[in-house]
Chain A
Amino acid sequence: MSRGLPPFQRFLDTHRDAVWRFLVSSVGREEAEDCFQETFIAALRAYPRLRAESNLRAWVITIAHRKALDAHRGRARRAAAIAEIAAADTRAAPSAPTRDDELWQAVHELPARQRSAVLLRYVADLPHCDIATAIGCSEQAARRSLHEGLVKLRKVVPA
């Protein structure tokens, strides 16, 4: 008998850590929760239509990536209003920003496609072909975005 799709609960158990990490890195802890719920609700709705041999990890990360983009767009609309508050918050933080903080600040300031490529490659550990599918571009374009993103990060992050 051919093996069918795993029960959704097992799919959730298997991929929840990767999706969570990807979302925290993409949109921050605060928004990760909502994006996580939306990601798996969307996955559940589409789930029975999937082929059993699908790459479930790449599929759910692709959905999470879409939800993260939506969150970024929503945030961009609110950005003007909250920028001052956020800046004040950062200054009020007791500890100085670490190198990791600076790196992630730089990641979040990358152009959208480069940021997506970097997050999908390193945080979600997807191969280039799946990154291309998630972004909706050619594999070559995905490689180029990734490369350009890394070059920018190396310039921005101090040695």
Chain B
Amino acid sequence: MTNRPLDDEQAIEDALRRGAPPEPGDSSAATADTRASSERAAVAARRLADRVAAEGLADVSYTPADSPFGTLLVACTRRGLVRLAFPEEDVDTILEGLARRLSPRIVEASAQLDPVRRELDEYFSGRRHGFELRLDWALIGGFGRQVLRVTSEIPYGGVLSYAEVAADAGSPRGSRAAGNALGSNPIPIVIPCHRVLRSGGALGGYGGGPERKRWLLELEGAIAAEP
């Protein structure tokens, strides 16, 4: 590498393609280690995302959040929490959906979502029985909004049937439509769609899987823990 003559066009072009060394006299380190450059770019990008979120320049910010179910993804707009996704949902698909439906100005930012993570931690450990987070209902339209409004008022430890929720949402015969709306709840857990059961008391379906529905209802004491 050292003392290679830069006496022809190709050699000059190759040297230009490697980019400038970060410090004078540092060329061997710089050329051998593009990873160092890449790491500095990653640090700069993280600083950028944090700054963008802190200054309110992003329309949507998101972060991973630990939970007993694995790593959730939570996303907020300036208005509030807009999306909570279970671990098996593909992150790129979620973000592309948010970009299309809300805004492509989406950045990963941790600090702005601290309150969300904190309330979720408290909830999962049984210390919190109600969320104080502001919600953004932008992803919830039509009859679904009526259904999830009713659902959001079911207290901790309580349950309603699909038929009751449908009736309270203004459509007494809309159990099936209510079920669909609950199944596509973009903010599960915080909008507690797990508190809606079949009329006979059977658990019914859940976007995050029936085992999680049971787990949440047991946490809240709404049903007895399985022996």
A interface residues (Cβ-Cβ under 8 A, vs B): 1, 3-10, 12-13, 16-17, 19-22, 24-25, 28-29, 32-33, 36-37, 40-41, 44-45, 47-48, 90, 93-101, 103-104, 107, 118-119, 121-123, 125, 150, 153-154, 157-159
Contacts and interface: CB of A to CB of B under 8 A. Distances in A.
Given A21-B37, A37-B44, A150-B9, 13 more contacts: A3-B96, A17-B38, A20-B40, A24-B20, A36-B48, A40-B45, A41-B52, A93-B24, A97-B24, A99-B4, A100-B31, A104-B20, A123-B19
B104 to A, nearest CB: 4
A20 B99 contact: no
Nearest to B28: A98
B44 A36 contact: yes
B160 interface: no
Contacts of B5: 99, 159
Interface stretch (B10-18, B121-129, B161-169): B10-18
Given A48-B103, A48-B105, A118 B24 contact: no
Interface in B93-112: 95-96, 98-100, 103-108
A7 B104 contact: yes
A10 to B, nearest CB: 7
Contacts of A107: 16, 20
B57 interface: yes
B92 A104 contact: no
A12 B48 contact: yes
A111 to B, nearest CB: 16
Given A7-B104, A118-B16, A122-B13, A44 B2 contact: no
Interface SS of A by simple majority: helix
A16 B12 CA distance: 25
B20 A28 contact: yes
- Give the top 9 A-B pairs by smallest Cβ distance, nearest first: A159-B7, A20-B41, A122-B16, A100-B27, A95-B25, A25-B20, A7-B106, A7-B95, A5-B104
Interface of B: 2-7, 9, 12-13, 15-25, 27-28, 31, 37-38, 40-42, 44-45, 47-49, 51-52, 57-58, 62, 92, 95-96, 98-100, 103-108
Contacts, number: 147
A88 B31 CA distance: 25
A123 B38 contact: no
Contact of A9 (B21, B37, B106): B106
B12, B16, B21 interface centre (most CB from chain A within 10 Å): B16
15 contacts: A1-B100, A4-B96, A5-B99, A7-B98, A13-B45, A21-B41, A24-B20, A47-B104, A48-B103, A48-B104, A90-B24, A94-B25, A103-B6, A150-B9, A157-B6
Contacts of B23: 29
Contact of A12 (B12, B20, B49, B100): B49
Nearest to A118: B16
B17 A7 contact: no
